[in-house]
Structure 1
Amino acid sequence: MVTSEDREFDDLLLMLKETRGFDFSGYKRSTLQRRVARRLQTLKLETMGEYRDYLELEPGEFAILFDSLLINVTGFFRDPQAWQVLRARAIPTICAAKGGGRAIRAWSAGCATGEEAYSLAIALAEELGLDEFRERVKIYGTDLDEKALHGARTAVYDVRKLADMPPELRDKYFEPVDAGFAFRRDLRRQLIFGRNDLTRDAPISRVDLLLARNTMMYFNAETQLNIVRKFHFALADPGYLFLGKAEMLLNHGDKFEPVDLRVRLFRKIPQPAGGARIGWNSPPPHAEENTRLPRLQGAALASGPVAQITLDASGRLALLNTRAEVLFGLQPRDVGSPFQDLEVSYRPVELRSLIEQAELDLRTVELHDVAWQRPGMQEPSVFDVAVVPLMDRTGELVGVTINFHDVTRYRRLRDELEQANKELEHAYEELQSLNEELETTNEELQSTNEELETTNEELQSTNEELETMNEELQSSNDELQQINETLNARTLELDRANQFVASVVRSLGDVVVVVDRDLRVLLWSPGAEELWGLRADEAHGRELPALDIGLPLDPLLPAMRRVLDGDPVAGGQADPASVEAVNRRGRPVRLAVTLAPLHEDDASVEGLILVMTGN
């Protein structure tokens, strides 16, 4: 009974196949479930359904999931004893069989980040020499993981990866770079890396040595059987298969014989002479067909560049080539099935009516630009389909062959060409518009140039005026300089006079205070500072009556007003008056106060001079 968990897991695998093109149906189910469950535990999710929703929301999780499902465990010369046997018993035999300078082809299936493929390159280069290696060897590295393939193409490895490699080999085949060591560029050209799904894609053919170490262990028994059949088809005669320790070929004694079972090195058993070979998924040929011509015909059909399907007169699937198997997902068990029961009969296009028309008219029926959105592909594939009736020498209809020509690339090129033409026309229109704008701009520039010439003439005139003004300013500056010198001289005289007055005031030793007509202090002698404890900067500018210094002004104010008003008494000077004051220590002191007018040049009274002496 199928549980809900199994259904959810199947839905997850279907999602990976349809959205990302990864078909895990051939992998060991228990292994896949265990690794997916580990991701659920990490993300704290409960069910596969929740994980599917998480994948739709977080596309970056796909890469993490594939890294956990496609474990890329590899290394240089992993299991050295096995590599020694390979170098001693297989590589020399291959090189001897490929004498005369013929090419040597090798395939590293499931190469991960490339260490296995580069190890094989080193082993072949050591056997052949560098020059022959560059001329004769071609190594193909394939894997399902694009991220791992990117690392293989880069061919840069850190010191830790090369730790187990003999130093002499590392120095000979690797060059130091910033990130570690890079495989020699002149030898790197002999290695080609590409994506290949062993469960679905066609194998690389005519290889002399095939490495698939610890790759098949992840697949179930049925898928392993299919992969081994592909490997047998891919290998030339003699051809060697090098597997990992955990892998065996117990049920394939008719296809491979052990060279050294301990290290899992096998040799291909060639087919009997004259055996027809339709493809790596074809059923065994009948004895009466073991002739050279059917064998040649089968090989030609299997390696055809277009997908080809052949039906017999009764409408059953009779033959198909490798390309058709990969493209439509057909299996060996489909041979002999009614064509109308197969999905390919109506997808990517309805073929049954075309077949009837071709059989009725006995002519080829063609259909162009058939678009097909294949699962896992980002854009649809485009095919030209040709249905060709097959007749024997008597003219009797014996079947129909259907050819699918993949014209996706040509359709894309045609679309790109049309788009390029549209862009070219648009660019031409923009160029014309730009040319017109440039002509308009040129006219504007000419007009601007004329305006600039006029402005230049105006600037020249203005410059002459400025020069005249500058001369006048220079003359004024000379006059101002003379005035300034005169002022400086008078200032010096005034400073000397002020210094003289200040010296006189200090020499008197008495209390001298000078005020203006508003009784604001203009001068405050050192004697005043000593008597009342008020500094000159504190008293300067303040009204004398507002100063709290213990000097009674009420008795003096009438006399001060008379002097300020220019009362003609003794030349405007008031008689000394005696007042009781208080000094800075709070002690009483009697002062004789003499008032004198402060005259300007025009003899007007501008203030008072108060001279106070103690009695």
Structure 2
Amino acid sequence: MGDGKPDLDTDEELEALLGFLRDARGFDFTGYKRSSLGRRIRKRMADVSVTSYADYRDRLETNADEFNALFNTILINVTSYFRDPEAWTLLQREVMPELLAQGRPDDEIRIWSAGCSSGEEAYSLAIMFTEALGLDETLERVKIYGTDVDDEALREARSGLYPGKSLAPLAPELREKYFEQNGSRFGFRSDLRRRVIFGRHDITRDAPISRLDLLVCRNTLMYFNVEAQTQIVDRFHFALREGGFLFLGKAEMLLNDAERFEVMSMRQRVFRRRPGEAAPPYQPAPVKIRTGMSGELHSVARHRQLRDLILDATPSPAVAVDCDGTVLLINSHARVQFALTPNDIGRPFQDLEISYRPVELRSLIEQAAHERRTLRVNGVERRTGEDVQYFDILVQPLNGPDGLTAATNIIFTDVTVTTQLKAEIKRVREDLETAYEELQSTNEELETTNEELQSSIEELETTNEELQSTNEELETTNEELQSGNEELETMNEEMRVRTDELDETRTFLEAVLTSIAAGVVVLDQGMRVKSWNRGAVDLWGLRPDEVLDQPFYGLDFGLPTEKLRETVQRCVETGKREASLPVPAVNRLGRSITCLVQCSPFDAHNGGVVLLMEESRANGSV
């Protein structure tokens, strides 16, 4: 590699590409392990014949569909129902009784499946709790959240439809109880599916779901570097209530968190949050009356910052435009939904695609300002590739102190989901915002504690990180191999079924021909022998391997075949069966016999015929 400069340039280009993905689409992969991440990105680059990260970034900027292909390559979705049965057995036999005994009988039970992929894990949890509590109590008390960063996987999870092969790990009675056949697929029962809520969530950036009894995050941490893993575990510790359980994958451990997590089963990676160190409840900062200009400025700046944070966290995509048509604000949801960036703030609104697609907004802004009233446009259709979304758009003029329109706020409400799901998402978002504020208030205390622990276990961390890194790399490779192996198994199963069908058909036909005592000979269009049954062998003494694919009229045996030529030709031309023709012949024993030959057309071979030969028994001959 020379002086190493190509490697350095490649690393810098990779970091630039990751920054572009974060700014353009809201996917932050900077906490992922560079070895695994770089390998997956290079695999996608090879698929589209691109050799450098810079060229691949250009392709992403010009081809919007390439983002989805890249994310599907990076985010490996390998999951199944009750994956690793031993771990689920431990969860069912030891964890469940303790979890249910900790609260009152009417308390809500909250479970989070982080990195749920296509939903099998979340539905496995629903089945497990239903088997323990019964259906009615589960529908009343249990709430399961399934989150992932892969929107395509989440769409599959929300549908609850799976092929029959996915249900193979389930016992037959569970398949019958919890799934209904829907065409070629099987759907998870609808009443229980409503207790499982799926949503997009990035565990490295978004605030965690709070007050959890059980948090399941299996084979997800292994994709992140040590720093990102530490931050994620901090979020998980905050999310769990005291005594709550953390269920990790077999390649993930918490060796350095003994003071916060108690080990229930190191083999199965089940931990329990220890009591104490609870985050203080969130309280709004008290309003203080300050004297002097500095206090007032501090208060104004603080309120302005809070206002910007609140606007940016607005649950619906929002864009604000001033009276001159300049973009003032693009909140985070609008940036992700419409592929906008912070750099678009300050640009003329008319230069943005969102100003005229999916609906002409510039004229609506002028109309709202002129009439000084809020305008609403319902059910606007927006297509992105094969996906279709529908929005209710609110165009709201904002008046200044002089009564004139100073700006216009445009809010997009996604109405493609059900009303119940929208209400639930709103409540969860509020919980996440509150949890994020509470988490911020405990960061300093957690960092101090972590530094004290770090100094005493530094050697153990170094050794553990090396072993864990190797183990996680192997596990990642295994996941990739398993995904490919499942596809090969499916193809192999289809080929085996076809082979069995062909073998069964061939055996049947051979049995039919063998069972006929008379000689049966099948000729193709060129009068070559295609079948020679046992009756023909017994009559003439020629084995099938001696006659197959040989010209019939050229065979030398006891039957004068030339005497049959006219009858065969007439059968071919008319397509009708000929009457039996007596032909003097010599059988395999050398006896002179009269052979009755009947010729029938064989339509399947376009001109072929079937000859039925048997010795005449007239006049007492045998």
Tell which has more relative contact order, 1 or 2 (C-alpha 8 A, sep 6+).
2
TM-score (norm 1): 0.48
Task: Point out the structure with max Rg over C-alpha.
Answer: 1
